[in-house]
Each structure stands twice: as structure tokens, then as C-alpha cells.
Amino acid sequence: MAESPVDLLRQTLLRYADTDESVTGAAFTGSHAVGEDDRWSDTDLVLAVRGDLAPVLDRWTARLSASHGAVHHWDVPSGPAIIRVFLLPGWREVDLTFAPESHFGPRGPQWRTVFGSPRDLPPFPPPDRNTLVGMVWHHALHVRLCLRRSRSWQAAHWIEQLRAHLITLACLRLGLPFHYAKGAHLLPESVTAPLAATLVRDVGEPELSRAFAALLDATATELELSDPATATRLLPMLTTLR
């Protein structure tokens, strides 16, 4: 069977890495690293870089622009490493992490070394539950303020953000992937059904108030499950936001 365009792209990227004297290691991460990718999956490749990252970033960016027609790229700092995210024609995404040799190594289970010597690195820490709880009451307060000020679009924004934090709290509580709601599809209906009622169908005040009331109910349930002691202190105040 013929190899897919994504497979061919990955092979090309590895050839670039193998011939780049500044690159001393390469590893796939994400779903492809553990054989769970599909035809919509991104390509996530980590490169161990000897010396200064900047010229290597420039060289690889020029390659992807000239040979693969990269339409756009942007950077995500990750400690001493830089993740450069590329958009290629056909909506193909390539995430290239350029890491100093001392920071080339797995921080989670989705890692497959192609060549090089990975270091033993601590895993990325989960989000702080107390901070998430703080975001929950902060966002709930700001929904109420926006509704009082007739700022409907801003209220809709805070509702969306609050729901996202509740999903993260639920994923943490149940031991599911929590970054970017990757475990949301695994949440039980007892969690997702109340959250479905919080979806905003329009930005009229009655609809926003309805969605907010449903969100406060879902918030109370999740806080009682995730952090009962804090819920005891917060819930009486949250009820006054209705």
C-alpha cells in the first residue's frame, strides 16, 4: 500500500534531522509516537540541538517554507526549548520542538526516540487544582458582572472559559488527559450532560442567564467532587450570583 503524504513528510523531516550537524537527536511525540494517530493527526517531532537554537530554527523554517510551502508559523516557548508550529498546505500541522541536548527527553508516555540519547526529565506537572478552582469563582463572578453591565459577548466569553476549567477539573479528578480537553470525550455522561446545558445558543440576556444558571449548578457539583473542603466555603457565595 502506498505511503500517505503524512508518512512521506515524516520521513523527509527525519532525513533533514539526520543530515543536520547541529541535530543530535530526534523523537516523535503525540499520538504518532504510540501508534494512536489517524489521518487527521499532527506531526510532533522533538529535535535535540547542539549549541545555539536560533540558527537551527532559521534553517528549518527556510526548509519548510521552500520545500513544503509552509503558509505560517508561530512559536510556543517551553522552558529552554522552543516549539515552532507550522501550517502546511492541505491543513497539515507540524510541531517541531527545538530543545537543547540537556532537555531532550520524554516528559510523558507519548514519546518514541528515533535517534540520539534522551535524558531523564521530570514529567510536566498537572495544572494546580487550587488555581483552577480560583479561576472558576473568578470567571463566575465576571459572568455576573458582564450580565449586569449588559456586555453580552464578554459574558459569553467568560461562560465558555468557566466551562473549560470545569472540564479540566473533571479530567484531573478522573485521571483522564487534561491538556486541551483531550480527555473530554472520555468523561461520563453524569459530567457531560449538565455541561451540555451550559452551551450558549445566542447572546440575548435570557439565554445567557439560563446558561449561567446551568453552569453554576455544574460548578457546584464539580467542586463538591473535586475539592469538598473548598466547596463548603465557596458554594454559599456562588449561590448569590444567580
d(CA 43, CA 11): 11
Share of the chain above pLDDT 90, in %: 91
Between 9-13, 35-39, 141-145, 191-195, the lowest mean confidence (pLDDT) is in 35-39
Residue 82: what residue type?
A: I
Judged against a pLDDT cut of 80, whether residue 1 lies above it is answered with no
Give yes or no for residue 34 having a pLDDT over 60: yes
What pLDDT, in 10s, does the model give residues 85-141? 999 999 999 999 999 999 999 998 999 999 999 999 998 889 999 999 999 999 999
In angstroms, how far is CA 242 from the centroid of its own chain?
31
**d(Cα 242, Cα 238) in Å, to the nearest integer?**
8
pLDDT band of residue 2 (cuts 50, 70, 90) is: low
What pLDDT is recorded for position 194?
97
% of the chain surpassing 70 pLDDT: 99
What would the pLDDT profile of 62-91 be if each residue is shown by its tens digit? 999 999 999 999 999 999 999 999 999 999
Q: What is the pLDDT of residues 173-185, one digit of tens each?
A: 999 999 889 999 9
Q: If you average pLDDT over every residue of the chain, what do you get?
A: 95
Asked if residue 40 has pLDDT above 90, the reply is no
pLDDT of residue 5: 86
Residue 222 has pLDDT above 70, yes or no: yes
